Protein backbone atom coordinates (compact mmCIF):
# COMPACT_ATOMS: atom_id res chain seq x y z
CA UNK A 1 0.00 0.00 0.00
CA UNK A 2 1.22 3.49 -0.90
CA UNK A 3 -0.08 6.50 1.02
CA UNK A 4 0.96 10.03 1.86
CA UNK A 5 2.93 10.21 5.11
CA UNK A 6 2.17 12.71 7.90
CA UNK A 7 3.81 13.92 11.08
CA UNK A 8 2.39 10.84 12.80
CA UNK A 9 4.74 8.71 10.67
CA UNK A 10 7.79 10.82 11.50
CA UNK A 11 9.56 8.47 13.92
CA UNK A 12 9.24 5.43 11.69
CA UNK A 13 10.22 7.46 8.62
CA UNK A 14 13.39 8.87 10.19
CA UNK A 15 14.39 5.47 11.53
CA UNK A 16 14.04 4.18 7.96
CA UNK A 17 15.99 7.06 6.38
CA UNK A 18 18.80 6.96 8.94
CA UNK A 19 19.89 3.55 7.69
CA UNK A 20 21.62 5.46 4.87
CA UNK A 21 21.67 9.09 6.05
CA UNK A 22 24.08 10.33 3.39
CA UNK A 23 22.00 9.10 0.46
CA UNK A 24 18.91 10.50 2.20
CA UNK A 25 20.27 13.92 3.13
CA UNK A 26 17.94 15.75 0.72
CA UNK A 27 14.84 13.96 2.01
CA UNK A 28 15.88 14.44 5.66
CA UNK A 29 16.75 18.11 5.12
CA UNK A 30 13.51 18.95 3.32
CA UNK A 31 11.37 17.27 5.98
CA UNK A 32 13.23 19.01 8.80
CA UNK A 33 12.90 22.36 7.03
CA UNK A 34 9.35 22.19 5.64
CA UNK A 35 7.53 19.38 7.41
CA UNK A 36 4.60 17.41 6.04
CA UNK A 37 1.99 20.05 5.23
CA UNK A 38 3.70 22.36 2.71
CA UNK A 39 1.85 22.66 -0.59
CA UNK A 40 5.11 22.30 -2.58
CA UNK A 41 6.28 19.16 -0.79
CA UNK A 42 4.85 15.69 -0.24
CA UNK A 43 6.29 12.45 1.08
CA UNK A 44 4.69 9.13 0.23
CA UNK A 45 5.48 5.76 1.73
CA UNK A 46 4.93 2.18 0.67
CA UNK A 47 4.04 0.01 3.67
CA UNK A 48 3.95 -3.75 3.95
CA UNK A 49 1.15 -5.77 5.52
CA UNK A 50 2.53 -5.11 9.02
CA UNK A 51 2.63 -1.33 8.51
CA UNK A 52 6.43 -1.14 8.16
CA UNK A 53 7.97 1.13 5.54
CA UNK A 54 9.41 -0.48 2.42
CA UNK A 55 10.07 2.64 0.34
CA UNK A 56 9.49 6.40 0.26
CA UNK A 57 9.11 9.05 -2.43
CA UNK A 58 9.69 12.77 -1.86
CA UNK A 59 8.19 15.45 -4.09
CA UNK A 60 9.79 18.87 -3.67
CA UNK A 61 8.11 21.17 -6.19
CA UNK A 62 8.74 19.29 -9.48
CA UNK A 63 11.68 17.24 -8.22
CA UNK A 64 11.34 13.65 -7.00
CA UNK A 65 13.64 11.46 -4.91
CA UNK A 66 12.77 7.82 -4.12
CA UNK A 67 14.44 5.61 -1.55
CA UNK A 68 14.09 1.90 -0.77
CA UNK A 69 16.16 -0.91 0.67
CA UNK A 70 14.80 -3.74 -1.42
CA UNK A 71 12.00 -4.46 -3.85
CA UNK A 72 9.25 -1.84 -3.99
CA UNK A 73 6.28 -0.77 -6.10
CA UNK A 74 8.15 1.12 -8.81
CA UNK A 75 5.10 1.24 -11.06
CA UNK A 76 2.99 2.71 -8.25
CA UNK A 77 5.51 5.45 -7.49
CA UNK A 78 5.89 6.17 -11.22
CA UNK A 79 2.12 6.68 -11.44
CA UNK A 80 2.32 9.20 -8.58
CA UNK A 81 5.08 11.10 -10.38
CA UNK A 82 2.98 11.27 -13.55
CA UNK A 83 -0.06 12.48 -11.59
CA UNK A 84 1.73 15.23 -9.61
CA UNK A 85 4.27 16.63 -12.07
CA UNK A 86 4.44 18.35 -15.41
CA UNK A 87 6.58 17.23 -18.33
CA UNK A 88 9.75 18.89 -17.01
CA UNK A 89 10.12 16.99 -13.73
CA UNK A 90 13.47 15.88 -12.31
CA UNK A 91 14.08 12.44 -10.83
CA UNK A 92 17.24 11.72 -8.85
CA UNK A 93 18.59 9.41 -6.21
CA UNK A 94 20.73 6.39 -5.50
CA UNK A 95 21.44 4.87 -8.91
CA UNK A 96 20.29 1.35 -8.09
CA UNK A 97 16.89 2.75 -7.07
CA UNK A 98 16.09 5.44 -9.63
CA UNK A 99 17.26 3.47 -12.64
CA UNK A 100 14.38 1.05 -12.01
CA UNK A 101 12.03 3.83 -13.20
CA UNK A 102 13.42 3.83 -16.73
CA UNK A 103 10.80 1.34 -17.98
CA UNK A 104 7.91 3.28 -16.41
CA UNK A 105 8.68 6.97 -17.10
CA UNK A 106 9.86 9.04 -20.10
CA UNK A 107 13.29 9.78 -18.64
CA UNK A 108 15.91 11.75 -20.55
CA UNK A 109 19.21 13.60 -20.02
CA UNK A 110 20.63 10.97 -17.70
CA UNK A 111 23.66 11.95 -15.62
CA UNK A 112 25.49 9.56 -13.29
CA UNK A 113 27.88 10.91 -10.67
CA UNK A 114 30.04 9.39 -7.97
CA UNK A 115 28.64 9.91 -4.49
CA UNK A 116 31.14 10.13 -1.65
CA UNK A 117 31.16 11.00 2.02
CA UNK A 118 33.64 12.09 4.68
CA UNK A 119 33.34 11.19 8.35
CA UNK A 120 36.91 11.91 9.47
CA UNK A 121 38.89 15.13 9.91
CA UNK A 122 42.23 13.30 10.10
CA UNK A 123 43.37 14.54 6.70
CA UNK A 124 41.70 17.96 6.94
CA UNK A 125 43.67 18.64 10.11
CA UNK A 126 46.88 18.17 8.17
CA UNK A 127 46.04 21.04 5.81
CA UNK A 128 47.58 24.51 6.11
CA UNK A 129 45.62 26.39 8.79
CA UNK A 130 47.37 29.71 8.14
CA UNK A 131 45.19 30.69 5.16
CA UNK A 132 42.50 33.12 6.30
CA UNK A 133 39.07 31.72 5.51
CA UNK A 134 35.91 33.72 6.16
CA UNK A 135 32.27 32.66 6.43
CA UNK A 136 29.99 34.55 4.06
CA UNK A 137 27.07 36.67 5.19
CA UNK A 138 24.18 37.98 3.14
CA UNK A 139 26.33 41.01 2.27
CA UNK A 140 28.76 38.70 0.43
CA UNK A 141 26.20 36.93 -1.77
CA UNK A 142 26.66 39.12 -4.86
CA UNK A 143 30.45 38.75 -4.71
CA UNK A 144 30.14 34.97 -4.50
CA UNK A 145 27.83 34.88 -7.52
CA UNK A 146 30.25 37.15 -9.35
CA UNK A 147 33.11 34.72 -8.68
CA UNK A 148 31.09 31.78 -10.00
CA UNK A 149 30.21 33.70 -13.17
CA UNK A 150 33.89 34.41 -13.83
CA UNK A 151 34.64 30.69 -14.02
CA UNK A 152 34.03 29.24 -17.48
CA UNK A 153 33.23 25.69 -16.37
CA UNK A 154 30.79 26.84 -13.68
CA UNK A 155 27.07 26.96 -14.52
CA UNK A 156 25.20 29.70 -12.63
CA UNK A 157 21.46 29.17 -12.86
CA UNK A 158 18.85 31.96 -12.89
CA UNK A 159 17.86 31.22 -9.28
CA UNK A 160 21.41 30.87 -7.93
CA UNK A 161 21.35 34.10 -5.91
CA UNK A 162 17.91 33.39 -4.45
CA UNK A 163 18.92 29.86 -3.47
CA UNK A 164 22.09 31.11 -1.79
CA UNK A 165 20.16 33.69 0.22
CA UNK A 166 17.42 31.26 1.24
CA UNK A 167 19.96 28.68 2.34
CA UNK A 168 21.77 31.19 4.56
CA UNK A 169 18.54 32.49 6.04
CA UNK A 170 17.21 28.99 6.76
CA UNK A 171 20.63 27.84 8.03
CA UNK A 172 20.54 24.91 5.63
CA UNK A 173 23.60 26.23 3.78
CA UNK A 174 26.79 28.14 4.44
CA UNK A 175 29.62 29.47 2.29
CA UNK A 176 33.28 29.94 3.18
CA UNK A 177 35.63 32.01 1.04
CA UNK A 178 39.14 33.40 0.62
CA UNK A 179 39.60 37.06 -0.19
CA UNK A 180 42.54 38.78 -1.87
CA UNK A 181 42.75 42.54 -2.45
CA UNK A 182 39.06 42.94 -1.74
CA UNK A 183 37.95 40.23 -4.19
CA UNK A 184 36.66 36.76 -3.39
CA UNK A 185 39.01 34.39 -5.23
CA UNK A 186 37.86 30.98 -3.93
CA UNK A 187 34.79 29.62 -2.20
CA UNK A 188 32.86 26.50 -1.32
CA UNK A 189 29.38 26.04 0.05
CA UNK A 190 27.15 23.51 1.70
CA UNK A 191 23.55 22.76 0.83
CA UNK A 192 20.82 20.55 2.28
CA UNK A 193 22.33 20.84 5.77
CA UNK A 194 20.32 18.86 8.29
CA UNK A 195 20.85 17.38 11.72
CA UNK A 196 22.90 14.47 10.32
CA UNK A 197 24.70 15.58 7.17
CA UNK A 198 25.45 18.25 4.57
CA UNK A 199 26.31 18.36 0.88
CA UNK A 200 29.37 20.28 -0.33
CA UNK A 201 28.69 22.26 -3.51
CA UNK A 202 30.02 25.23 -5.43
CA UNK A 203 33.73 24.53 -4.94
CA UNK A 204 35.52 27.03 -7.17
CA UNK A 205 38.68 29.11 -7.55
CA UNK A 206 39.33 32.08 -9.80
CA UNK A 207 41.56 30.99 -12.67
CA UNK A 208 44.34 33.44 -11.70
CA UNK A 209 44.56 32.00 -8.18
CA UNK A 210 44.60 28.26 -8.85
CA UNK A 211 47.23 25.74 -7.73
CA UNK A 212 47.64 27.53 -4.39
CA UNK A 213 45.57 25.08 -2.36
CA UNK A 214 42.77 27.57 -1.71
CA UNK A 215 39.82 25.30 -2.57
CA UNK A 216 41.32 22.40 -0.60
CA UNK A 217 41.85 24.67 2.41
CA UNK A 218 38.21 25.80 2.33
CA UNK A 219 36.86 22.26 2.00
CA UNK A 220 39.15 21.17 4.84
CA UNK A 221 37.67 23.87 7.08
CA UNK A 222 34.15 22.79 6.14
CA UNK A 223 35.10 19.23 7.10
CA UNK A 224 36.50 20.29 10.47
CA UNK A 225 33.58 22.57 11.31
CA UNK A 226 30.74 20.29 10.25
CA UNK A 227 32.20 17.14 11.77
CA UNK A 228 32.55 19.05 15.04
CA UNK A 229 28.77 19.60 14.80
CA UNK A 230 28.18 15.88 14.35
CA UNK A 231 27.44 16.06 10.61
CA UNK A 232 28.78 13.81 7.86
CA UNK A 233 29.80 15.57 4.65
CA UNK A 234 28.79 14.36 1.19
CA UNK A 235 29.46 15.45 -2.37
CA UNK A 236 29.02 14.47 -6.00
CA UNK A 237 31.76 14.40 -8.60
CA UNK A 238 32.14 13.11 -12.14
CA UNK A 239 35.65 14.40 -12.79
CA UNK A 240 38.30 11.87 -11.65
CA UNK A 241 40.83 14.68 -11.11
CA UNK A 242 38.45 16.46 -8.74
CA UNK A 243 37.66 13.14 -7.07
CA UNK A 244 41.32 12.51 -6.27
CA UNK A 245 41.54 15.90 -4.51
CA UNK A 246 38.52 15.12 -2.35
CA UNK A 247 39.84 11.68 -1.48
CA UNK A 248 43.07 13.23 -0.18
CA UNK A 249 40.88 15.10 2.29
CA UNK A 250 39.22 11.92 3.56
CA UNK A 251 36.24 11.42 1.24
CA UNK A 252 35.46 7.92 0.05
CA UNK A 253 33.10 6.66 -2.64
CA UNK A 254 29.95 4.99 -1.33
CA UNK A 255 28.06 4.58 -4.59
CA UNK A 256 26.63 6.56 -7.47
CA UNK A 257 23.81 9.09 -7.82
CA UNK A 258 21.71 9.32 -10.98
CA UNK A 259 19.76 12.35 -12.19
CA UNK A 260 17.22 12.58 -15.01
CA UNK A 261 16.21 16.05 -16.22
The two beta strands, 197-205 and 110-118, are: unpaired
| Tens-place pLDDT, residues 106-115 | 999 999 999 9
Q: How far is CA 74 from CA 26, 40, 45, 99, 249, in A?
A: 20, 22, 12, 10, 37
Q: By CB neighbour count within 10 A (0-12 exposed, 13-18 middle, 19+ buried), where does 66 fall?
A: buried
Position 153 scores a pLDDT of 79
Position 174 scores a pLDDT of 96
Q: How far apart are CA 30 and CA 27, in angstroms?
A: 5
Q: How far apart are CA 204 and CA 216, in angstroms?
A: 10
| Tens-place pLDDT, residues 232-251 | 999 999 888 888 889 999 99
Q: By CB neighbour count within 10 A (0-12 exposed, 13-18 middle, 19+ buried), where does 3 fall?
A: exposed
Position 86 scores a pLDDT of 80
Position 160 scores a pLDDT of 86
Q: How far apart are CA 5 and CA 67, in angstroms?
A: 14
Q: What is the CA radius of gyration of the chain?
A: 19
Helix, strand and coil content of the chain, in percent to the nearest 5, comes to 35, 30, 35
Position 31 scores a pLDDT of 95
Q: How far apart are CA 16 and CA 56, in angstroms?
A: 9
Residues (pLDDT < 50) of the chain are none
Q: Are 191 and 201 in contact (CB under 8 A)?
A: yes
Q: What is the DSSP letter of 127?
A: S
CA triplet 58, 63, 64: central angle to 5 degrees? 35
Q: At what angle do helices 25-34 and 10-17 cross, to 10 degrees?
A: 150
Q: At what angle do helices 141-150 and 160-170 cross, to 10 degrees?
A: 140
Q: How far is CA 171 from CA 18, 92, 242, in A?
A: 21, 24, 27
Q: How far apart are CA 123 and CA 41, in angstroms?
A: 38
Position 239 scores a pLDDT of 84
Model pTM score: 0.87
Q: How far is CA 203 from CA 38, 44, 55, 155, 184, in A?
A: 31, 33, 33, 12, 13
**Strand order of the sheet with strand 232-237?**
2-4, 41-47, 53-60, 63-68, 90-94, 252-260, 110-118, 232-237, 197-205, 183-191, 175-180, 134-135
Amino acid sequence: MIRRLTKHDHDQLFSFLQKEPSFNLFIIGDIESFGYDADFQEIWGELDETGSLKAVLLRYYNSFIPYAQGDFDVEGFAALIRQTSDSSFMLSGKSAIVERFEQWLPLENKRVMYFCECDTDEYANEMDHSIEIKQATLEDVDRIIELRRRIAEFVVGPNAREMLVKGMEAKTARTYYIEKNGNIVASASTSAENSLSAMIVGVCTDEEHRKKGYASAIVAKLIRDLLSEGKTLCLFYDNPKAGSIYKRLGFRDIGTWTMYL
